[in-house]
Structure 1
């Protein structure tokens, strides 16, 4: 096909639209992008000094009002998870073979009355980790281009992480304010 025929066919327009979509933000509405080994919020809040001691200060933090949902979108090329850190976090680190300097020094937990959350809708943190380890494609995975959403109804601090990329430090916080 010569250049003029190609241009008349409309294929050039479709190709241009495809390339444009790959080059920049396509305007999709999400709160946190999942890329390589990191969560990248559209806007980041600072963890104040009066936050509980177990809340990591050096990770991306999203701030929402009770009743709001947070949307994570996998904008990268690797599979990711979103998993709440709880009192069972030491068991999960043991399952993943994390110890020493890579282990968390804090004791994360959910606010009283808050529901556990994870991509894959598991009953708890250990179940989410076991499913990821035991399933061929990893239980609870958010594949590239897909989303996970969770509504936060209880005010307080939430810490979360990506199961396969926890050793690389892929974690974040959600701070839920009173409505």
Structure 2
């Protein structure tokens, strides 16, 4: 083998070894990635026909068992939030100026007995949104490379979204099954 062929084969092997970990996403220990304007679950579920009518059918849906903890990781380059949609969601859409296709005609809510959840640990959806707006990307922000976790104790349907990227349609569902 001549010197050039040997060097070329060594470079190809080195390049393959260097990029192998980047291609498959193996080793990631989060359940939902947050990209530039989307939630990308490692596995998705289909929203069944018997789900409540307020559960959006066309957004990424994760299925877990009561007691499981979901981990979201910001794998993108923009700030994100994870914010549960509640009966106050219409007020939040008005605060964010969302209308048209990105707005919900649904009545999002949490299962009976479930507490509100959001990155930033706010008491409610309106408080989380006002904090985000008032603090200019402050309240509840998950910066690139950071994570948010939430343990789902109550079975039922949950709908959530990213405050700054709601107009772009960054939303998701969690379906929590009885243990």
Q: Say whether residues 1:124 and 2:106 are aligned partners.
A: no
Q: How does 1:85-164 map to 2 (within 5 A)?
A: 85-164=85-164
TM-score (norm 2): 0.86
Q: How many Å separate the matches in 2 of 1:78 and 1:17?
A: 29
When structure 1 is superposed on structure 2, of 21-30 and 159-168 the one drifting more is 21-30
Q: How does 1:13-92 map to 2 (within 5 A)?
A: 25=25, 27-92=27-92
Q: How many Å separate the matches in 2 of 1:163 and 1:40?
A: 16
Q: How many Å separate the matches in 2 of 1:78 and 1:105?
A: 27
Q: Say whether residues 1:176 and 2:179 are aligned partners.
A: no
Q: How many Å separate the matches in 2 of 1:113 and 1:29?
A: 29
Structure 1: stretches of 5+ with no match in the other structure? 1-15
Contact 2:114–2:153 (CA under 8 A) maintained in structure 1: yes
Q: How many Å separate the matches in 1 of 2:165 and 2:130?
A: 15
Q: How many Å separate the matches in 2 of 1:112 and 1:45?
A: 22
Structure 2: stretches of 5+ with no match in the other structure? 1-15
Contact 2:158–2:173 (CA under 8 A) maintained in structure 1: yes
TM-score (norm 1): 0.86
Superposed structure 1 runs of 4+ greater than 3 Å apart: 16-24
- Alignment size in residue pairs: 164
2:175 alignment partner, SS class: strand
